[in-house]
Every structure is written in C-alpha cells, then in structure tokens.
Amino acid sequence: MSIVVVGSMGLDDVQTPHGSVQGVLGGSASYFSVAAQHFAPVSLVAVVGNDFPRDYVEMFRGRGIGVEGLETVPGSTFKWRGRYGDDPDQAFTLATELGVFSDFHPKLPESYRGARFVFLANIDPELQLHVLRQAGGLKILDTMNFWIDGKRAELLRTLLEVDVVILNGQEARSLTGIANIYKACEVISSYGPKVIVIKMGENGSLLFTPEDVFLLPAFPVERVVDPTGAGDTFAGGFVGWLARCGRLDRDAYRQAMVMGTVLASFTIEDFSLRALMRATLETVGARAAKLHDMTQFPAPGGLG
Amino acid sequence: MSIVVVGSMGLDDVQTPHGSVQGVLGGSASYFSVAAQHFAPVSLVAVVGNDFPRDYVEMFRGRGIGVEGLETVPGSTFKWRGRYGDDPDQAFTLATELGVFSDFHPKLPESYRGARFVFLANIDPELQLHVLRQAGGLKILDTMNFWIDGKRAELLRTLLEVDVVILNGQEARSLTGIANIYKACEVISSYGPKVIVIKMGENGSLLFTPEDVFLLPAFPVERVVDPTGAGDTFAGGFVGWLARCGRLDRDAYRQAMVMGTVLASFTIEDFSLRALMRATLETVGARAAKLHDMTQFPAPGGLG
C-alpha cells in the first residue's frame, strides 16, 4: 500500500559533540520518505529552491521515492542551523531561514490521491488541514511546540480529522497541560486521533489506543552522533511498516513501533541521512530481531 | 530458598507534592524485606534504637520476616528527612541523623548462615565485605554515590566478591566515569559482578550480563505519591523472585526484573510502606500480567 508524505525539505548545518556538517540534506520529508521506503512505496510533497542539489533529487528517485510532488521554485531552499550538547534529546536552533518554504502551498498531484496513508509532517496546521481534504486513507500527523503554542485552535481543528498523532512527551504535555503521559494521551484521544504515539528519545516510546498501551525501550546504540531527523525517521518506519502489513491490528501497530525505533537508531548514528541510507532490509531485520530478544520475557505464573 | 538482607532501618520525615509524613517506617531493610517476603522467606539484619516503635517489629514478625538479627540498642533510631519536587527521580536530603546506625556492626545470627541469597543494602562497603565473609549463596549488592565517591577503593574491593550489583544509572556513570550505560555495564562487569541491574526510575530498568541485555519499561502508575524506597523495593522483588524460582537462568532473571518493577510500582503510590503492605500476590500477579501484555510483540519477520 502506498504512502504520501507532506513536509519540509531542507539543507542543514549541524554541530554535535561528534563533529559538524554544512549544507547537508535534511527536512522532515527527507527522513520520513527514505525510512518508509524500506517497507512500502512513498511519494513526497515538498518545495525546494533552485539552489537544491539535483543529486539529492536523484537519490530519492533512485530509491523509488515519488518526486512528482517535489516542486522547485526560484529562491532559497529551507535552511536550518542547529546544535546539540551532551543531551541528544535537546536541540538548540541557531538559525532558520524559511526561503521558498514560507510560500509552501502543498498540492497532491492527481497520481497521489489513491494513497492509503498520508503523513503530515510538522508544518502549519492550516496547511495540514488543506492537505487532509485532498486525501483519503489513514491520516497521520506530527506537530511541534511552535504550532501547539502559536496556532492551537487551528491545530485542534485539524486533529479532529486525524487518525494517528505522533508527538514527543513534551509536546503531549504542552498540548494538554497534563504531566502524566497516560492521562495526557487520554485527553488527546478526545481531540480526535484514536491512536497516539509518544516518542521519548533515549527513553523509548509509547503507543496508546483506547484498548491498548504498548511500551517499547529505545534501541541501544554505541554513539549518538546526530539526533536530527530521529522523530521523522521513526514516523517513516512506523507508517511504512503499517503500509507493508496492510492491516491495522494490534500486532501491526506494535511491530510498527519496533520498526520506527529501529530505523531511528540508524539515523542517529551518523549525520544527515547517511546511516539511514546505508541501512538495508537485512540490517533493519537484524536490529528488530535484537530488540525483540532484548524485551521479551515469559509471563510469570502461579501468583494468586 | 531463603534470603538475608543487611541494611538500614529508620524513621523518615518525607515531603512530596502530594503531602507529608513524619516518623514513618523507612530504611532499606524495611522496604527490601517486605517486598521480598511476597515471594520467599526473608530474615533481616539491622539495628534500631529504643525509640523504635514495637508495632513495626510486630508487623515484620506478623508477615513472617525473620527478626532475630534486628538488634535494639540504647539510643536513637536512624532518621532521614527528605523532600521531592516534581521529578520523582530526584530526592533532596534535608537532614540525616545516624543515631545507633553509626555503630552498626552487622553480625549474621547462626540461623541465617544457610541463606541462599544475601542482599547488602547501601551501607559502608567495609561492612558489606565483613558480612559477605560470613555468608554463602548468591551475593547481591546495592550502593550509593556517598560510597562511590567517599570509599571507592573499599567498594571496588567488595565488588570483587559480589555476584549481582544493583545501581541507578547515575551511580553506574559515577562508578565508571562512562556516560554510555551499556559501556559502563561492561566495565562494572570487569570489577567482579557478572550480573548488573540498572534502575532508571520512570524510564525503566536494564539487566546486563555477559551474554544478555534485557530492557524493561517502568510500570505506569496514576500518581507518584512518594518515591522513597522504590530502589530497595525493586531489589526485594528481584531477589525474592530469584529465590522463589530457585534457578538463575535467563528467564528467571528477566521475570525477577518484572517483579522488582511491579513491587516498586506499589511502593511509590503511597507514603512509607503503606501501598507495598497492601499489595497481595493477586494484585502483584495482575500487574505482572499487565506489564507482560504492555511490552510483548510478535517478532517481525520476512526481512532479508
């Protein structure tokens, strides 16, 4: 089953305790699409300026990612400059230049309209709603504090039409004003989305549905080189696996959490999409098997 | 199989965002023994002053906990006064009065010497070594930053004779100077203990052995009323379950982590040992089954 992602495409400058890079491929649609494409066909909707390296477009095309919805317009590509200290869960934004992204009006090409999954990365909730109305299938949304704080009413309006929301713990707390993450999920569920995924970085992730709670630790990595894109990669692995399974049952959702976790564990091991692009179905499968092995136990019996 | 615990017995004053209590039962040996006794016979070695309420001694006796090694001597019982803010993983010590605990020279009564498990709670590592030499069976040790910083050489000497060490993440990092918790565990393993348990509070726990890594999320609770004793309760559930199983294989260790997690989830729901004492094999079993349900997933197949 096929997936459409609507999000940002950018060029990043990143400094971490392990080094720095300039002008590398970034943006939510990049990480998401390369992650999801491991499991199912993906097409992207994004905008870049005429400074965007054609090699990156060729890379997407070479991996089978649909680029019909990737618009190139005169001007500068979206740029983000950021820094991480010792805590990989905290990014410091040094500069953002929106460039052509400030006039982004996402349109789904006719050929995308049969997609069974639509992922709305963290763009303006009004644009997200505009896209939702052009799309069918399962609707998955990500957002960020900038919109939670600045366009709360619009975000709540959009959430009414969303099936799955993916947030980090801090965003879930901002959105609801509730510290206990499980209670926050109950409240978010009343906003519309019946499936809620909470990413907690090094502390794993949580899947909440009205019938089910699933808790998953993070995959241990030797060295977190650059956490940029981990959340969008997680979303890509998650949605990609659902599309591959073609079912939305409890097991498919739980395995989708595992695949999000595993793909994110590659992303953070190198700058930009480098490690994610080196991952293969074989290495992804090996990490999924290892995470299974590290988390399963026989139910303790014989107690009352 | 039977267990001996050597640790502190105290009276606590605790303030948390959910209220405060004065002069309530505390101390590592209290939490550990009540937790472990759910699964296996426990005897304790500790010292109290003649101000220690006899009701508490009767409570231990009434639950079948061996008190032959509980010495009462003239003077004041160990007292701890502490406070928690919104982060349950951070305790602030306001006052400590050692009282009779400052002259604690633990002796194992003759009748304890056949115990198959000895838990050394976080007392002076020289006393821990002294106890180890009187004991057989599996040796499990807890410690704290006070000893890691203040008696490092003595602690390392003691660790050479220990089978299992239980630490929190921050203690593991202090002990080794290594930030990556998995690498820190490898180094601790070279100090002697072949089994390492890392408690991470709200973020779950980790079991490390030379052959195995096991990751377990925390059990979700509605409200953390008082985190005091959570670590000693975890240790009690962990060691108690091993004693009940009578085996030291991979499944027994993994289930022991689950039982430590579950018993600690009761402790933090109320002040002192109140919620831990209300737990029954039935409610413990129900939470263990729920934690199993919340963490298990079918291995994703068909990948390379």
A107-140 residues labelled b (16+ CB within 10 A) or e (exposed): ebeeebeebbbbbbbbbbbebbbbbbebbebbbb
A212 → chain B, closest CA residue:
B294
- Provide mean pLDDT across the span A127-137: 93
- Min Cα separation A226/chain B (Å): 15
Look at residue A304 in the predicted model and tell me its pLDDT. 63
Residue A156 to residue B262: CA distance in whole angstroms: 36
For every residue of B168-180, which 3-state class applies, written as one string? EHHHHHHHHCCCC
Q: Which of B202, B223, B295 lies closest to A295 in CB terms?
A: B295
- Provide mean pLDDT across the span A240-245: 97
Which domains are seen in chain A, by residue range?
Answer: 3-294 (3.40.1190.20)
Confidence of residue A87 (pLDDT cuts 50, 70, 90): confident
Residue A233 to residue A246: CA distance in whole angstroms: 20
**How large a percentage of chain A has pLDDT more than 70?**
100
In this predicted model, what pLDDT tens digit does every residue of A10-35 receive, in sequence order?
999 999 999 999 999 999 999 999 99
The reply to whether A133 touches chain B by the CB within 8 Å rule is: no
Residue B82 to residue A96: CA distance in whole angstroms: 45
Look at residue A199 in the predicted model and tell me its pLDDT. 96
A207 → chain B, closest CA residue:
B294
The ranges of chain B with pLDDT < 70 are: 304
Which residue matches tokens 């953002």?
A96
**Contact (Cβ atoms closer than 8 angstroms) between residue B196 and residue B165:** yes
Q: DSSP secondary structure string, B45-72?
A: EEEEETTS-HHHHHHHHHTT-EEEEEEE
Confidence (pTM): 0.94
Residue A158 to residue A131: CA distance in whole angstroms: 10
ipTM of model = 0.91
Confidence of residue A90 (pLDDT cuts 50, 70, 90): confident
Q: Which two tokens stand for residue A71?
A: 């618009």
At residue A269, does pLDDT exceed 70? yes
B233-268 residues labelled b (16+ CB within 10 A) or e (exposed): bbbbbbbbbbbbbeeeeeebbbbbbbbbbbbbbbbb
The reply to whether B289 touches chain A by the CB within 8 Å rule is: yes
Tally C-beta pairs within 8 A across A and B.
Answer: 114
Look at residue B256 in the predicted model and tell me its pLDDT. 98
Confidence of residue A301 (pLDDT cuts 50, 70, 90): confident
Which phi and psi angles does A65 have, rounded to 5°?
-80, 135
Residue B131 to residue B118: CA distance in whole angstroms: 9
- Min Cα separation A242/chain B (Å): 12
Which residue matches tokens 């291995």?
B299
Which phi and psi angles does A28 have, rounded to 5°?
-65, -40
Mutation target vs B (from A198, A215, A222; most B CBs, 10 A cutoff): A215
The reply to whether B249 touches chain A by the CB within 8 Å rule is: no
Look at residue B89 in the predicted model and tell me its pLDDT. 82
The reply to whether B282 touches chain A by the CB within 8 Å rule is: yes
Q: DSSP secondary structure string, B219-277?
A: PP-S-----TTHHHHHHHHHHHHHHHHT--SHHHHHHHHHHHHHHHHHHTTSSTTHHHH
A179 → chain B, closest CA residue:
B86
